[in-house]
Amino acid sequence: MNRFEGKNVLVTGAAQGIGRGIALCLAKEGANVVINDRANVEAAEEIVNTVRAAGREAVFWQADVSDPAAVDAMFDGVVDRFGRIDVVVSNAAASVREPIIEAKWENVLGTLEVTQFGVFHVCQKAAQQMVKQEPDTRSRGKIVIISSVQSEVAAEGAAAYNMAKAAINHFARTLAVELVEHRINVNVITPGWIDTPGERVFYTEEELQANGRLLPWGRLGTPDDIGKAAAFLASDDADYITGSILRVDGGYVVARSTVD
């Protein structure tokens, strides 16, 4: 399928992990892709080269989504380059794992600035741009927000991240209500335990594989699993879906709630 032929897509936090999986899935279906990341320059440029080798346009835009001025400059630059933005995937996140009673405020605030406020900045700017655009086929644009099952499950040691993810879920519903008259779709994906480089900060390879086998689906999720879900929500196939939260977790939350 080439559901995104000629479409321009911006993915934040796209140098590795889930963001990388989403960017590559959309490019595979024809999208021109803007790879945003704050620091992983080498990894981001590798994705850009991969997408270009496949015959699609790709650029890397280094920006910190917690900085509204940097987000403004990024969107202005992308629009200057491509003329319009058809899909924005707000994926960038940060987390420092600490028990609440030991948490340092600078770590809490750093998590919120990227994981919650960064989503606000990116989606606000996306909405401002999309409402000015003429509808392309069925909509003026698609916004997909990457949240987490930790918006529902109280994972220990991640209070700031948990509450940020819960907050962006309700933010997305609010944005969907405000943008429906403009025919801009806003939806959320809540990934479960996904096999990403970030997980290797906290677990060994053996621990990850062992834990994956304990999950209901028998494995950890992959960035490609999330990429395919994002491609669906960003496509015309999801034209009649807005304000929804799609859980992609291999049955983790359902199984947990049954046990609880």
Catalogue the active-site residues.
161
- Measured CA to CA, the distance from residue 119 to residue 112 in angstroms comes to 10
The structure tokens listed for 229 are 């879900």
- Measured CA to CA, the distance from residue 167 to residue 250 in angstroms comes to 23
First-to-last alpha carbon distance for the chain, in angstroms, is: 41
Nearest in space to 25 (alpha carbons), one of 223, 221, 194, 227: 227
The dihedral sign for the CA sequence 51, 56, 60, 65 = negative
Q: Which residues contact 41 (CB under 8 A, 6 or more apart)?
A: 15, 60, 62
Helix ranges, 134-202 (H)? 159-179
- DSSP 8-state secondary structure symbol assigned to residue 240: T
How many other C-beta atoms can be found within 10 angstroms of the C-beta atom of residue 246?
Answer: 18
